[in-house]
Structure 1
Amino acid sequence: MADTYPNIADHGLIGDLQTAALVDSNGTIDWFCCPRFDSPSVFASLLDAERGGYCSVRPATDDYVSRQLYLPNTAILVTRFMTEQGVGELIDFMPVADGTATDRHRLVRMLRVVRGTLDFIAEVQPRFDYGRQAHDFSAVQGEGVIFRSPDQALTLHRVGDFVMHGGQRAGRGEIAGQGVRITGSLNAGEMTGVMLESGGVPPKRITHDELFDMFLETRRYWREWNERSTYRGRWREMVARSAMTLKLMTYAPTGALVAAPTAGLPEQVGGERNWDYRYTWIRDASFSVYALLGLGYTEEAEQFVEWLMQRVHESVGDTSGPLKIMYRVDGSSDLVEESLEHFSGYRGSAPVRIGNGAADQLQLDIYGEAMDSIHLADTHGLQLPHVGWTQLSRLLDWVCDHWDTAEEGIWETRGGPKKFTYGRFMCWVALDRGIRLAQSRGRPAPIPRWREQRDAIYEWVMEKGWDEERKAFVQYEGTEVLDASLLVMPLMGFIAPRDPMWLSTLEAMDDELVSDSLVYRYNPSASPDGLRGSEGTFTLCSFWYVDALARSGFLDEAQLVFEKMLTYANHLGLYAEEIGLTGEQLGNFPQAFSHLSLINAAVNLDYQLDHGSGFVDPVLSKGRRVI
């Protein structure tokens, strides 16, 4: 079964800022949802090789070598096929969608030969609605094919010399099962392609010039966007790729950032930790504001803050609080979880879940992350209107009343609510940022009450979130379990990075959660989370670790850990959610949290390296060895 499925890391990402597709290193699109990130799939062979559907372009022989790269400074993916007879290049991209056209999306696959001759096979095998809806199709002579299901349609346009009937040398198409197969041969300098379009448009012939114009316009868009970055630090290539990856996962009509463009990819192959991440988490997207502003992308940060404030305005006010922990990209909150029983899952990893049952959990930390991003945006000139401030004041009053409530926590465990230290510490952040905003802008606010509750939270964390025997801050009240989410305590200004309590916590995490440069978020065996199996190290936590080391004065080690983390990226500079024991990528791919934390770590580490972090007291460092 493993041979049927590519490695999670063997993929590149293309998109049009409303949806995205994964392309494996053999030229197969095995994941594509349309018309939005969170829409049902059209191609999903990554989750079921037989029932999921795919679009492939490959040499007609099995004797070839393939390599992938992004066209520099763009989100245009190039897959190179090298055979004894010739070398071909498959160029995949999605023209950036018009923000007003949310149902029509184009997926372009240009195949050209740069040396010798290449015989090729292309197949289009759609399976609509996660393979649950049957479809019919019809060929329009000389124009292409249209596939129709009850709810969706996909058009295959004729490109250049490709015809559905006939025998022209550049490509001949024929019916193949529920799809179309195209075979042909190209010499050096020749080009053909496949263009798919959603929305039920009639098929038509696309000329090579039209295809090339789309390519040029897409290249221009990404290069101009990339040039807006103000980052001039040591890791420009990786930071730029991470920034473009975050942009690819942003739904342009609303500014919402999805956690990942995929669903069901396992945190443990063969296990049940298979979640749908095609939604906008308040937490993830709030952290992205820090990354975007750090690179100079003020417009993107402003758009997300506006989206966030719209959610605050709605103030659902049910038992889960004024904010849901996640939303669909359009701001709706219907995320009912179900299992696709007919899908076998990636390498047998079942169940395959769509929707997300964690949507109604109480996770207190989101209020701190949201308020921190709003405060940060304010410092960059993105000020709140009066109505927005009024709504935030009500939200902070709610935090005052509920910060000591048991909750599910940042990791969305399903082992029952607890009094998590991270959630309370983030409530401190929420109130602290609210007080700062009120004072700096002269806004009306019950500051004495907010300050009283902020200080009460501080005392709680220092007393009940601290374990005297372990000499460390712990996951929740009454446990000895460590939690890597607490690595952001110095970043958020809750504790001084040279405080003995923090240095001993960092030391304890080194001993239990850190494996070389890789960091586990917690120990599931020591803290049952309601799920079977284990997981890999969390890439987000590993980059948080870099920042914590740098702020605490261990600059040499911070830089080494960061450089090691860069070696775990895939061949295109992309990261999934987790990294396994042998360096394999695990979980949904690519993961926004992984990339935004890379950007933040790079920006902060650059600053520390350029300005110095000062003297490290050898007593406080507890004999720590810096390599």
Structure 2
Amino acid sequence: MEVLLAMSGPDALSLRGDYLPMAERHRHVGEFTVEQGQIVDFELTWFPSHEDVPPAINVDESLQLAVDYWTTWAGNCRADGKYADAVKRSLLVLRALTHYETGGIVAAPTTSLPEDFGGARNWDYRYCWLRDASLTLEAMLTHGYGSEALRWRNWLLRALAGDPEDLQIMYGIGGERDLTEMELPHLPGYQNARPVRIGNAAVSQYQADVVGEVMVALERLRLAGGKEDNFSWALQRAMLGSVENHLEDKDFGLWEMRGTAQYFTHSRVMMWAAFDSGVRAVRDHGLPGPIQHWEQIRDRLAAEIMDLGFNRDLNSFTQAYGGQQTDAALLALPQVGFLAYDDERMLGTVARLEKELLTSGGLLLRYRTETGVDGLEPGEHPFLACSFWLVEQYARSGRRTDATNLMDILVGLSNDVGLLSEEYSMREDRMAGNFPQAFSHLTLVRAADAMHGEDGLSLQLKH
């Protein structure tokens, strides 16, 4: 079979198929008709340009192997209830976003698909955020995929090896650290949304919540039977030491604000959760560590959060210390056991979220972008993850009807093969942002678990 080669520097592509395009004015063009019942095969392969052209594969055999693998993998999923199909599809997406060899989990396989059509909120998500990967681990554990969770832990150990002070919020799929953000002005972008970016400048941000997400996920791995070795627990102790070193530092928060660093309430709660997980590791699993010291830091953070992150006049937690703005990230507080879902302070926070961030289409915004807190031009569509968090909150606090109504809307936004993007424009009835998005799918799983009564190895601690 003929093969069409394209080379540029270190990269090369080979294309095989029944109808190869022909050269025409510095490009290749081809046109053909496929009739009903006819099958036309193409095989496109990347390879290093200094190597020989890879041999052709048996397309039918390779397709069958792929179908068999994914069918078997999905068949091991523990999921039932009304949303079982959506859960299985989401877990398949999360598995597909996990690199087969390294175990790294990318946030999305795309870059620069716009959050705001024609706007500048265009980011490269083809990297492994520790936060997203940690939450994916929890979703996998809840549904019986312990081996995938262990493979991610091993990726984590390799990526973070070295000085804990050099910890980043994200890495490449192999643990790469250099993710310098660049703009590609020669590319028009999706529907002229500029700039097109590769790399992500957020890699250099300090985000105080990240270690908390990692520690909570690894605690849930222990609860599921995962065993620590000397290296993995030593790394976790070192991460707690790094958190302690930065207790007084402001950060840029879960949403990677490109404005001014602040004491974000969610970030401070996740610092609390980091030390709470360390305490649990010593108390419940017999691992060595300064439990009294960690308890002191944890309790100090809890008192600080209640004093500075909760506005008694508004009966609500706030986005940042001393402020009055609300933030959908506050829905994570009961998820890590900081307080109960039905605590009156949490219910007051939910009431403010509903009042200030719910759109006319019934979906939840992250925060009010017109405040300028993120350093960008105002305007964005609702993040699907935030609405799934709200479903979880409703379900866990006894608002079953509200949970069902919102969950049905969200699941109904999936495309014909059950995929979700980062955001959704109800006005234009279309997805927005990078696609498919791990964060949307993992929060769908959490929401469905809450609806189905699955506790997800919950860490409940009431204040």
Pick the TM interval, shorter chain.
over 0.9
Given that residues 156 and 203 in structure 1 are in contact (C-alpha distance below 8 angstroms), is that contact kept between their aligned partners in structure 2? Answer: no
1:531 aligns with 2:390: no
Aligned residue in 2 for 1:383: 227
Give the letter for the 1:357 counterpart. A
Give the letter for the 1:598 counterpart. L
**Identity value in percent:** 35
The farther-off stretch of 175-184 and 391-400 is 175-184
1:178 CA displacement: 3.6
Give the alignment partner of residue 256 of structure 2, picking from 380, 394, 412: 412
Gaps of 5+ in 2: 456-463
1:160-211 residue CA offsets vs partner (Å, 9 max, x unmatched): xx4x6xxxxxxxx5323444334445555443221111215538777xxx32
Give the letter for the 2:158 counterpart. Q
Shift of the 190–579 alpha-carbon distance from structure 1 to 2, 3 Å rule, reads closer
Shift of the 334–204 alpha-carbon distance from structure 1 to 2, 3 Å rule, reads closer
In structure 1, C-alpha distance between the alignment counterparts of 2:158 and 2:34, rounded to whole Å: 52
Give the alignment partner of residue 445 of structure 2, picking from 593, 599, 623: 599
1:454 CA displacement: 0.3
In structure 1, C-alpha distance between the alignment counterparts of 2:161 and 2:53, rounded to whole Å: 42
Give the alignment partner of residue 11 of structure 2, picking from 152, 160, 168: 152
Given that residues 157 and 204 in structure 1 are in contact (C-alpha distance below 8 angstroms), is that contact kept between their aligned partners in structure 2? Answer: no
TM-score w.r.t. length of structure 2: 0.93
In structure 1, C-alpha distance between the alignment counterparts of 2:45 and 2:29, rounded to whole Å: 17
Given that residues 15 and 45 in structure 2 are in contact (C-alpha distance below 8 angstroms), is that contact kept between their aligned partners in structure 1? Answer: yes
In structure 2, C-alpha distance between the alignment counterparts of 1:419 and 1:397, rounded to whole Å: 19
1:456 CA displacement: 0.7
1:443-489 residue CA offsets vs partner (Å, 9 max, x unmatched): 22111111011001101111100112221000101210001011011
1:248-295 residue CA offsets vs partner (Å, 9 max, x unmatched): 211111111101111111111111111111000010000001111112
TM-score w.r.t. length of structure 1: 0.69
The farther-off stretch of 177-186 and 264-273 is 177-186
The farther-off stretch of 489-498 and 418-427 is 489-498
1:497 aligns with 2:370: no
1:533 CA displacement: 3.2
1:519 aligns with 2:374: no
Given that residues 481 and 527 in structure 1 are in contact (C-alpha distance below 8 angstroms), is that contact kept between their aligned partners in structure 2? Answer: no
Given that residues 325 and 359 in structure 1 are in contact (C-alpha distance below 8 angstroms), is that contact kept between their aligned partners in structure 2? Answer: yes
Aligned residue in 1 for 2:322: 478
Given that residues 365 and 381 in structure 2 are in contact (C-alpha distance below 8 angstroms), is that contact kept between their aligned partners in structure 1? Answer: yes
Matching of residues 159-558 of structure 1 within 5 Å? 159=18, 162=19, 173-185=21-33, 188-199=36-47, 201-202=52-53, 210-318=58-166, 323-515=167-359, 516-558=361-403
1:585 aligns with 2:437: no
1:342 CA displacement: 0.7
In structure 1, C-alpha distance between the alignment counterparts of 2:43 and 2:91, rounded to whole Å: 27
In structure 2, C-alpha distance between the alignment counterparts of 1:353 and 1:180, rounded to whole Å: 26
1:329 CA displacement: 0.7
Shift of the 216–481 alpha-carbon distance from structure 1 to 2, 3 Å rule, reads same
Aligned residue in 1 for 2:460: none
Given that residues 233 and 603 in structure 1 are in contact (C-alpha distance below 8 angstroms), is that contact kept between their aligned partners in structure 2? Answer: no
Shift of the 488–198 alpha-carbon distance from structure 1 to 2, 3 Å rule, reads same
Shift of the 484–212 alpha-carbon distance from structure 1 to 2, 3 Å rule, reads same
Q: Answer with 1 or 2: which has the greater Rg.
A: 1
Given that residues 281 and 327 in structure 1 are in contact (C-alpha distance below 8 angstroms), is that contact kept between their aligned partners in structure 2? Answer: yes
Aligned residue in 2 for 1:576: 421
Shift of the 415–183 alpha-carbon distance from structure 1 to 2, 3 Å rule, reads closer
In structure 2, C-alpha distance between the alignment counterparts of 1:383 and 1:608, rounded to whole Å: 23
SS in 1 for 2:165: coil
SS in 2 for 1:225: helix
In structure 1, C-alpha distance between the alignment counterparts of 2:164 and 2:249, rounded to whole Å: 18
Shift of the 444–189 alpha-carbon distance from structure 1 to 2, 3 Å rule, reads closer
Give the letter for the 2:430 counterpart. E
1:220 CA displacement: 0.8
The farther-off stretch of 397-406 and 146-155 is 397-406
SS in 1 for 2:151: helix
Structure with the higher strand share, 1 or 2: 1
In structure 2, C-alpha distance between the alignment counterparts of 1:204 and 1:182, rounded to whole Å: 23
Structure with the higher helix share, 1 or 2: 2
1:509 CA displacement: 0.8
1:283-326 residue CA offsets vs partner (Å, 9 max, x unmatched): 000000111111211111111111122334323524xxxx2100
In structure 2, C-alpha distance between the alignment counterparts of 1:328 and 1:458, rounded to whole Å: 34
In angstroms, what is the RMSD of aligned CA positions? 1.8
SS in 1 for 2:41: strand
Q: Which has the higher contact order (CA 8 A, sep 6+)?
A: 2
1:506 CA displacement: 0.8
In structure 1, C-alpha distance between the alignment counterparts of 2:415 and 2:437, rounded to whole Å: 12
